[in-house]
Structure 1
Amino acid sequence: MSWVDRRTPAVERILDAAGRLFAGQGVDAVSMAQIAAAAGCSRATLYRYFPDRPSLQLAFVQREAVRVGALVATDLAGARRGADPLTEGVLAALRHVRANPALLAWFGDPDAAHTADVAQGSEVVEALGLTMAADPDAARWLVRVIVSLLTVPGGDEAEERRLVERFVAPVVAVGQSRTQR
């Protein structure tokens, strides 16, 4: 059963509670018992929806990737004329994740290594990476770049923009043009 099949008010309440706890304590520090208590449900109810902590964490990341992907798509639709959609998409993703404490918690020590693994899941790549690149390999690589910049940020937004414009956008553009041949 995929995470989309489990989208109920109870699941949303559980994932919202998990997000609040992740923001306050870090991802790996939060127990299932804490999440159940914060969501106002029993542990049995929590385990009915999520058989273990990795399943809950994955569902949280997938849900948030869909949200961030939608925000990025909206930003790209309103981007200034002539702006590079790839650069703007990557920078928008960084802004949206950094603006959400529950997501930002995934990119600090000791949670970043776990995040890199989870971020490569197909649902995350589909929800976020494919909003910026039609090629699945390019989308997967863009998610890796975003995770990298969130884990080891540039000095400021201007530096990140320069790096994305100089190194990321040209490589993805060349890779996608080769795929289209």
Structure 2
Amino acid sequence: MTDQTARILDAAAGLFAAHGVTAVGMGEIATAAGCSRATLYRYFPDRHALHLAFVQREARRIVALLPTDDPVEAVLAALREVRARPELLAWFGTADAGTTAALAQSDAVLGILGDEQTARWLVRVIVSLLVVPGRDDAEERALIERFVLPSLR
């Protein structure tokens, strides 16, 4: 990833956190990144490409932080990481759910997680818990242990 690409994605992150994902236009991102629209479009031909690059970058960052020896804790850690970062949590509001759902099931995102069927299932579970959280951590852990863990074995 180039410095310019990172600068653009970082600028987008700040705007997503402040305004929501679908409310942010390419012109606003270019201005926040300190580049022209032409430069922005040189790196990202459209908004979908920018969204995809952002989601891929953040998914890689989160996956790198997850424990590999405990799948339940890995899912819970992923949930905590997204909830702790406003630029990520913005993807799970009502206005942005369609964009999130489409990107979450894209090959580019699923490829980061390994086996395609397992990845699709995990992403659906995580997105579901981010959109409709459990009452508390204990309930989410119980749901993951009861329904997700058996499917990973």
Aligned identity (percent) is 63
Partner of 2:83 in structure 1? 98
Deviation of residue 136 (structure 1)?
Answer: 2.6
Counterpart of 1:153 (choices 133, 136, 150) is: 133
Match of 1:163 in 2: 143
Would you say 1:111 and 2:96 are equivalent positions? yes
> Equivalent residue for 2:11?
17
2:2 counterpart of 1:8 = yes
State the alpha-carbon separation in 1 of the partners of residues 21 and 71 from structure 2: 29
Question: What corresponds to 1:126 in structure 2?
Answer: 111
Q: Which residue of 1 aligns with 2:122?
A: 142
Aligned to 2:73: 88
The letter of the residue matching 1:158 is A
SS in 2 for 1:69: helix
* TM-score (norm. length: structure 1): 0.81
TM-superposition CA deviations, 1:153-179 (whole Å, max 9, x none): 111111100100011111232xxxxxx
Choose which of 49, 59, 65 in structure 1 pairs with 2:59.
65
Task: Compare CA radii of gyration and give the structure with the larger one.
Answer: 1
Gaps of 5+ in 1: 1-6, 78-84, 174-181
1:107, 1:154 → 2: CA distance? 14
Tell me the TM-score normalized by structure 2.
0.95
Cα shift readout 1:67-88 (whole Å, capped 9, x = no counterpart): 111011xx336xxxxxxx2211
User: 5+ unaligned residues in a row in structure 2: which ranges?
Assistant: none
Give the Cα separation in 1 of the matches to 2:133 and 2:141.
Answer: 11
Return the alpha-carbon distance in structure 2 between the equivalents of residues 105 and 60 of structure 1: 13
1:54 aligns with 2:39: no
Corresponding residue pairs, total: 153
Q: What amino acid maps onto 1:14 in structure 2?
A: I
Counterpart Cα distance in 2 of 1:126 and 1:97: 19
Measure the CA separation in 2 of the matches of 1:107 and 1:31: 18
Alignment RMSD: 1.2
Partner of 1:76: 68
Q: Distance in 2 between matches of 1:37 and 1:156?
A: 39
For 2:147, give the aligned amino acid.
F
1:71-115 CA distance string (max 9 Å, x none) = 11xx336xxxxxxx2211111110111111111000001101210
Amino acid at match of 1:89: A
How far apart, CA to CA, are the structure 1 residues paired with 2:122 and 2:152? 8
